[in-house]
Amino acid sequence: MNQDISIINLVLHASWVVQVVMLGLLLTSLASWTVIFSKLFGLAGIRSGSDEFEREFWSGKNLNDLYSDAGRRAETTPMERIFASGMREVMKSHERRMSDAGAVLDGARRAMRASFQRELDAIESNLSFLASVGSVSPYVGLFGTVWGIMSAFIGLSNVQQASLASVAPGIAEALVATAIGLFAAIPAVISYNRFARQIDRIAMQFETFIEEFSNILQRNMAQTAAGVT
């Protein structure tokens, strides 16, 4: 392409509607990449933190010590907060001297489920934004393309001798909008699918931990009740 119809000149000489569409898509793409990198590092930190806490949990360390460590840390992992919510409910039940082990276990399980849902909602934040960018951006770019082509043919109607050379720059300007729309949409769709699979695995890991921790609490309560009797 020569200098007269370079990408920069096509953008600069496009109609104001097409330029607004391009600018909006570029800003959307920038916001999308910000979310992508934030999720990329955030999910990696959650996975590593959960694996580290599980290793500590299954190392045989006392549950009360784990709970105390979680309370002293300035920053805790989502799995650690789920564990702390269950232990907090058990501690409250002991303070109230509740003797019904089933009620204590149900309370701890409900507390962990509520904490699990809060953590999952936080992990899934901004994921819907990527889905919206991936589904809407191509159509926004297509709108810019249709508007640009329409403007090009309207301008062509005022020319006495119409030729492909006279309409080509206008069509090229319009097609740039579609290209920018695809540039914004494709990374968002790929990242959304990848993050959705990773979040599903994280949620499964959390649910498995809740069930395993509930079984441990149940065994401890049964042993305590047997010791009392």
Express each pLDDT in 22-59 by its tens digit: 899 999 999 999 999 999 999 999 999 999 999 999 98
- Which one is predicted more confidently, 88 or 1? 88
- Per-residue pLDDT band for 134 (boundaries 50, 70, 90) equals very high
- Per-residue pLDDT band for 166 (boundaries 50, 70, 90) equals low
Percentage of the chain beyond pLDDT 70 is 84
The model carries a pTM of 0.82
Return the half-sphere exposure (C-beta side, CA atoms, 13 A cut-off) of residue 109. 15
Closest CA to 78 of 109, 110, 54: 54
Cα–Cα distance measured from residue 36 to residue 40, given in angstroms and rounded to the nearest whole number? 6
pLDDT of residue 207 exceeding 90, the answer is yes
190 is written with which tokens? 């790929």
pLDDT of residue 21: 87
pLDDT of residue 209 exceeding 80, the answer is yes
Average pLDDT over residues 161-168: 62
Residue showing tokens 């090009």: 152
Cα–Cα distance measured from residue 194 to residue 74, given in angstroms and rounded to the nearest whole number? 30
Cα–Cα distance measured from residue 78 to residue 84, given in angstroms and rounded to the nearest whole number? 10
Amino acid 185 reads A
**Three-point CA angle 197, 121, 48, nearest 5°:** 55
- Per-residue pLDDT band for 94 (boundaries 50, 70, 90) equals confident
pLDDT of residue 198: 95
| H or E stretch covering 148 | helix 127-157
> Are 44 and 121 within 8 A, CB to CB?
no
pLDDT of residue 1 exceeding 60, the answer is no
Average pLDDT over residues 75-99: 87
Q: Exposure string (b/e) for 203-213, b if CB count within 10 Å is 16 or more?
A: bebbeebbeeb
- Which one is predicted more confidently, 62 or 196? 196
pLDDT of residue 159: 61
- Which one is predicted more confidently, 189 or 228? 189
- Which one is predicted more confidently, 165 or 202? 202
pLDDT of residue 78: 92
> Are 182 and 141 within 8 A, CB to CB?
yes
Residue showing tokens 């399980």: 109
194 is written with which tokens? 């990848």
The phi, psi pair for 38, rounded to 5°, reads: -60, -45
pLDDT of residue 226: 64
pLDDT of residue 115 exceeding 80, the answer is yes
